[in-house]
Amino acid sequence: MTTLFHRYLYTIPSSPPSKSTIITYLTDTLGFPKSRAIWFFNRLSSPQTNPQAVISFLQSHNFKLTDIQSWVLKSPHILFSDVHKTLKPRLDFFQDLGLKDQDLCKFISKNPVYLTHRFDERVKPCVDVLKRLNLDDNNNSNNVNLIRTLWRCNWADIKHPVTRVSSNVEYLEQCGIVGAQLATVIMRQPRLLIMGESELKVLVSKVLDFGFSTDSRMLVHAIYTVSCLSEETFERKVELFRSYGFTKGDFTSMFVKAPPLLRVSEAKLRCGIEFFFNEVKFEKDVLVRRPQCLMLSLEERVIPRFRVVDIMMAKRILKRRPKFLNVLSMPEDKFLEKFIYKDRDYAEKLLLAYKSGGSLLQNE
């Protein structure tokens, strides 16, 4: 198979090969069943069809044979394309965007149809819409965010993607999500661009029902959060809070104050609630007022700081226990200055205790 493949690759005839040669190429080199090869030839070939020229052109861009074969198996149109009228302009377009070498290869591997019949009607117009959103600032000439968004959207499976994308962008703007906020939410959740109209409206309606308004800066964060969660996951998290005594009103208040709260894993939420209730002795209302506490790292921030305060109280370094909410909200440098380095005699040991989660010094 490899020998035949190379023979076709490096012995490109000056005139288009015959039907029998192309069918033999499709069956012996690319592994198509003969009936399928004949069907593709009859349906896709033209008088200028030259699969060998196509393969040679793609290889000249340093694409591997195995990758090219994979693309052709997924999208046989590639093999029957005009190199100069179709393939070269497509590759130039993607390279001009900033897709190079292996990144370009991976991008094409995901959707080989982008090289052929779904480019002008689906890909290019959508890229034009993305460009108007200014996903990349003026200091970023590599279109990193645009490429990442393009990568995560599957335009190929949508019948009229540019209509849907334009409509969804317009709807989000009508909801007050514009400019940098719109660019941010699209970068984080490109799926919002290709959602069905009714699905997007239901999602936004669900968020607004929680009490967010279209002029709230938190709206965009809430939309992103809800879009990341399935209905089942969302309801499980609602039930989790309910199981610890939080009312529906409590949950709504917490979500409105801190929309990213629901992106925290169930395990982390459970551990956080139990630690604040059982160890810190917070009342439920404290977490309702400051739900951001449940988003902090237990291992790196909450538990170490709590243990350090415990140790300092036990060693009488502190005369009275500070409000733990204030301790949690302190920047790292201020916490170190006010607590860890407060007593020179204990500074080194307190720092060790802090870095180890407060496990040291407790029994000294």
pLDDT tens, N- to C-terminus, the chain (364 residues):
444 444 444 444 456 677 788 788 778 777 778 888 787 777 777 767 778 788 889 989 889 888 888 888 888 888 888 888 899 999 999 999 888 888 899 989 888 888 887 788 888 888 888 888 888 876 555 788 888 888 888 776 777 888 999 999 999 999 989 998 999 899 999 999 999 989 999 999 999 999 888 888 899 999 999 999 999 999 999 999 999 999 999 999 999 999 999 999 999 999 999 999 999 999 999 999 999 999 999 999 999 999 999 999 998 999 899 999 999 999 999 999 999 998 888 888 899 889 886 454 444 4
At residue 303, the pLDDT reads 94
CA 311 vs CA 50, 100, 334: distances in Å: 78, 55, 18
| CA nearest to 212, candidates 175, 169, 240 | 175
What is the value of pTM for the model shown? 0.75
From the CB of residue 104, how many other CB atoms can be counted at a distance below 10 Å?
18
Contact 124, 80 (CB under 8 A): no
Q: How many helices (DSSP H) and strands (DSSP E) are in the chain?
A: 22, 0
Q: Alpha-carbon torsion 165, 169, 170, 174, what sign?
A: positive
Q: Which of 72, 48, 43 has its CA nearest to residue 59?
A: 72
For residue 141, what pLDDT is reported? 59
Could you tell me if 141 and 97 are in contact, meaning their C-beta atoms sit under 8 angstroms apart? Answer: no
List of E strands, the chain: none
Report yes or no: 268 and 298 within 8 Å, Cβ to Cβ: yes
| Helix extents (H) in 27-156 | 34-44, 51-59, 65-74, 88-97, 101-110, 124-132, 144-152
Q: According to the model, what pLDDT value does residue 359 have? A: 52
Query: What is the reported pLDDT for 9?
Result: 44
